[in-house]
Each structure stands twice: as structure tokens, then as C-alpha cells.
């Protein structure tokens, strides 16, 4: 493994950690993207910070694209599979109360047993689907 | 600056930082995520463990930061700086929604290698596939909200399903 292959994921992970910790310390909110997204369309509560966070995510993607750092490849997947996957991700994260960020980073970071169990379950099923379909 | 504006400003800073973390870590790239989830690649020696490093990097910040800086404040019933209280899930139950929801999420995640954060950050690519994924994902979250509400109404008096994080 090259050095950058170790340090970039670690550094990126630490940035995710700092952003999550700051949101919790200042706004008292869990930086769970699925929760922020589903709540942004909800009728209750303060929605402005949710849209600000989402806008920030979109902005960082746009900057990364301008720098040529946004890479991905969907060539192997058909549109129906992508739509099905998107629906499962939206449905599952709200029923399960979190995703890779809400459970994976914030919940595990709080050493929440619920989040540790949830992470184990979605990792196991993610591995299952990836091994079967790729 | 009042609290609502402060929360808005905090989110305007944390959102881009979070997105930048996704890009720098490589997690905005579905190929990299699938390179981790598809453990059958271990046999060929092409398995990519970087997702584990991303998690380690994030937790190396959040665990000490939470345990030393935030948990004592929650325990002492103090408020965060820009909000009246910490919105941290109170429920501890390992219930069916937690397990079922996480399983469904995992299946969708493993199918294409995209979870909610990278999906939003990747919208800028202009790829119709990402747009389709995001629209479908938003539809899924709203269907789940309706299901949660129906479940809460049915179980009147019982503790409500925790706020999604």
C-alpha cells in the first residue's frame, strides 16, 4: 500500500470527525446525513440549518469537481438497480435511525450500543450485496 | 447574532468540511466503497481496506472529543453553545426497526456503493445516475417517515421511535 493510500483516508476521516464533533458541540445535532435530509423535508422543527448543511455538502462536491477530484464510475449499474438502491438506502436509514454517518461516526463515536449493532448489521448486509452483485 | 443564525452559520461550515472529508477520504467514490465491501477481492489481493481507515480517522476525533468535551455537559444537563439542548437519541432498545432498517440500508449500499453523504456530494458531477439515486433516496426517506408515524400512532402511549440521526 502506498503512503497516500493510508494517509488520505485517515485525514479525510478526521475531517469527517471534526465536522461531526463541531455540529454536536455547537448545534447539539448529530451529523447524520440521512436524518438531516429526511428532516429537511419534514414539517416540524428548525429546517434552516439542515438545508445549510446540505447546501454545504453540494458545494464541496462542486469544488471537488472543479478541481478534478470528484471521481466515480457507474458503468456497471443499470438505472433500475440504482433507483432500487437509492430507495432502499432512504427507507432503511430512516427506519433504522441512521446511516454510515449518524450511526457509523456519531453513534459509534458516542459508544452507543444501538449504533454499534446497526453498523454491524449494515456492514454485513452491504458486504453480502457487494459480494453477490459485483 | 441570535442562536438560529448561529446554528445556520455552524451548518454552513460543517457541511462543506464534511463533504471535503468525503472527497479526501475517497468515500465519495463508489468504486472505492465497493472495493471495501466486496471482501471476495481478498482472495485476489485487490481488497481495499481504506473505509476502515476512514472510520478509524473519524473515531479518533469523535470518541475523545465526545467523552471529554460533550458527554460531561450532557450528564450535567448543560446546553450546547448555539442550541437549547443536545438532540442525542435517548432510546437504547435494540429493536426491530433498528435491525430491519439497517439491513435494508446495507443491501442498498452494497448494490451500488453509495450512502447518503456521498450521494449528495456527488450531485455536482451532473451524472443522471446520481440524480436518480438521490431522488429515489429522498422518496424512500419520506415513505419511511410515514411508516414511522403510522407505527407511532398505533402504539399510542408507547415510547416513540427515535428521531433519525
ipTM for the predicted complex: 0.94
The answer, for A19 touching chain B at a CB cutoff of 8 Å, is: yes
Q: From B16, B156, B105, select the one nearest A96 (Cα to Cα).
A: B105
Return the pLDDT at B155. 75
What is the number of other CB atoms lying within 10 angstroms of the CB of residue A76? 13
Segment among A66-70, A102-106, B40-44, B51-55 with least mean pLDDT? A66-70
Asked if residue B161 has pLDDT above 60, the reply is no
Q: From A58, A36, A38, select the one nearest A49 (Cα to Cα).
A: A36
pTM of the model: 0.93
Phi and psi at residue A2, to the nearest 5°: -75, 160
Cα–Cα distance, B140 to A43 (Å, whole number)? 17
How many separate domains does chain A show?
Answer: 1
The answer, for B3 touching chain A at a CB cutoff of 8 Å, is: no
The answer, for A75 touching chain B at a CB cutoff of 8 Å, is: no
Structure-model confidence comparison of residues B158 and B43, the more confident one: B43
Q: Do A130 and B34 touch (CB under 8 A)?
A: yes
Kindly state the average pLDDT of the residues B81-94.
92
Q: From A36, A112, A15, select the one nearest B71 (Cα to Cα).
A: A112
Residue B26: left (phi > 0), alpha (psi -120 to 50), or beta? left
Give the count of alpha carbons within 13 A of B138, CB side only.
13
Q: Do B80 and A125 touch (CB under 8 A)?
A: no
- In a domain? residue A81: yes
Q: From B56, B7, B66, select the one nearest B36 (Cα to Cα).
A: B56
Residue with cell 459509534: A108
Q: Do B125 and A42 touch (CB under 8 A)?
A: no
Return the pLDDT at B152. 83
Helix spans in chain B (H): 3-25, 30-37, 50-65, 71-75, 96-112, 116-121, 128-154
- Domain encompassing residue A54: 8-133
Residue with cell 438506502: A89
Mapped onto helix, strand or coil, the DSSP state of residue B152 is helix
Kindly state the average pLDDT of the residues B89-107.
95
The answer, for A112 touching chain B at a CB cutoff of 8 Å, is: yes
DSSP, res B78:
P
Q: Do B124 and A73 touch (CB under 8 A)?
A: no
Return the pLDDT at B2. 76
- In a domain? residue A2: no
Return the pLDDT at A2. 56
- In a domain? residue A1: no
Nearest-by-CA chain A residue for B109: A126
B86 Cβ contact partners less than 8 Å away, ≥ 6 residues apart: A24, A28, B70, B73, B74, B79, B80
- In a domain? residue A106: yes
Q: Do A97 and B38 touch (CB under 8 A)?
A: no
Segment among B92-96, B136-140, B161-165 with least mean pLDDT? B161-165
Cα–Cα distance, A86 to B105 (Å, whole number)? 9
Residue with cell 466486496: B38
Residue in A14, A88, A131 nearest the CB of B58: A14
- In a domain? residue A33: yes
| CB < 8 Å from B in window 34-63 of A | 34-35, 37-39, 41-42, 46, 48-50, 52-63
Ranges of chain A with pLDDT below 70: 1-3, 72-76
- In a domain? residue A19: yes
Give the count of alpha carbons within 13 A of B85, CB side only.
7
- In a domain? residue A42: yes
Q: From A111, A9, A95, select the one nearest B49 (Cα to Cα).
A: A9
A37 Cβ contact partners less than 8 Å away, ≥ 6 residues apart: A50, A54, B116, B120, B137, B138, B141
B110 contacts in A (CB within 8 Å)? 125-131, 133
Residue with cell 453553545: B81
Return the pLDDT at B59. 98
Amino acid at each position: 500500500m502506498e503512503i497516500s493510500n493510508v494517509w488520505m483516508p485517515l485525514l479525510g476521516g478526521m475531517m469527517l470527525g471534526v465536522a461531526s464533533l463541531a455540529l454536536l458541540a455547537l448545534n447539539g445535532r448529530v451529523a447524520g446525513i440521512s436524518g438531516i435530509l429526511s428532516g429537511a423535508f419534514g414539517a416540524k422543527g428548525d429546517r434552516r440549518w439542515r438545508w445549510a448543511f446540505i447546501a454545504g455538502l453540494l458545494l464541496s462536491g462542486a469544488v471537488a469537481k472543479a478541481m478534478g477530484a470528484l471521481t466515480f464510475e457507474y458503468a456497471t449499474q443499470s438505472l433500475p438497480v440504482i433507483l432500487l438502491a437509492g430507495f432502499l438506502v432512504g427507507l432503511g436509514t430512516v427506519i433504522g435511525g441512521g446511516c454510515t454517518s449518524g450511526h457509523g461516526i456519531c453513534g459509534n463515536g458516542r459508544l452507543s450500543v444501538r449504533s454499534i449493532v446497526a453498523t454491524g448489521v449494515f456492514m454485513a448486509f452491504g458486504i453480502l450485496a457487494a459480494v453477490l452483485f459485483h | 447574532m441570535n442562536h438560529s443564525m448561529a446554528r445556520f452559520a455552524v451548518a454552513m461550515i460543517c457541511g462543506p468540511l464534511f463533504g471535503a472529508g468525503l472527497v479526501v477520504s475517497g468515500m465519495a467514490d463508489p468504486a472505492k466503497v465497493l472495493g471495501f465491501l466486496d471482501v471476495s477481492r481478498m482472495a485476489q489481493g485487490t481488497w481495499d481496506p481504506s473505509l476502515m481507515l476512514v472510520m478509524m480517522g473519524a473515531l479518533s476525533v469523535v470518541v475523545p472529543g465526545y467523552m471529554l468535551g460533550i458527554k460531561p455537559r450532557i450528564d450535567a444537563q448543560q446546553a450546547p453553545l448555539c442550541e437549547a439542548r443536545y438532540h442525542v437519541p435517548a432510546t437504547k432498545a435494540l429493536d426491530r426497526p433498528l435491525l430491519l432498517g439497517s439491513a435494508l440500508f446495507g443491501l442498498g449500499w452494497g448494490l451500488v456503493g453509495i450512502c447518503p453523504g456521498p450521494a449528495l456530494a456527488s450531485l455536482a458531477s451532473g451524472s443522471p445516475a446520481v440524480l436518480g439515486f438521490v431522488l429515489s433516496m429522498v422518496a424512500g426517506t419520506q415513505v419511511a417517515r410515514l411508516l414511522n408515524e403510522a407505527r407511532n400512532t398505533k402504539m399510542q402511549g408507547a415510547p416513540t421511535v427515535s428521531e433519525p440521526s
